[in-house]
Amino acid sequence: MRFERLQTIATSVVKSALLSLPEEIRNEATDCRIEFVEMDALMDFDEDLDPDLLGLFEGNARCDPLPESPDEMPRIRLFLDNLWDECAGDLATYRHEVKITFLHELGHYLGLDEDEVAAMGLA
């Protein structure tokens, strides 16, 4: 499936996921940039990335000090090509994985560690 179509679907899923959250969390999430990217395109620029990543939170979490540089600005990256490959081309599974991956990374932005995120069923 073309990246543009995967991005359209992912955008819809993320918007829906955000709307399902309590208002306080939804408001906190507005400070975190969300990027839809292709892992294949990034591998040439960032060799340190695990090529199998589905999502990644980077920057300062909500509970950290305010960012002092652009590198510290919070962002969630969803790797749409990897998510699509993980789902073996099944659209319903892709939607589910985008939602779970987004909420998992949002949990990190909100200050949760891997165990806490997993305990919420977002692993």
Locate 78 and state its tokens: 């969803």
Longest dimension (CA), the chain: 41
Q: Return the pLDDT at 16.
A: 96
**pLDDT number for residue 83:** 97
Higher pLDDT, residue 25 or 41: 25
Average model confidence (pLDDT) for the chain?
Answer: 89
∠ CA 49-52-56 to the nearest 5 degrees?
55
Given a cut of 80, is residue 102 above it in pLDDT? yes
What is the 8-class DSSP label of residue 71? G
| Record: fold of 3-62+69-119 | Zincin-like (3.30.2010)
Domain boundaries, given as residue ranges, for the chain: 3-62+69-119
What tens digit of pLDDT does each residue of 27-83 get? Answer: 989 989 999 999 877 666 667 788 899 999 999 888 888 778 777 889 999 999 999
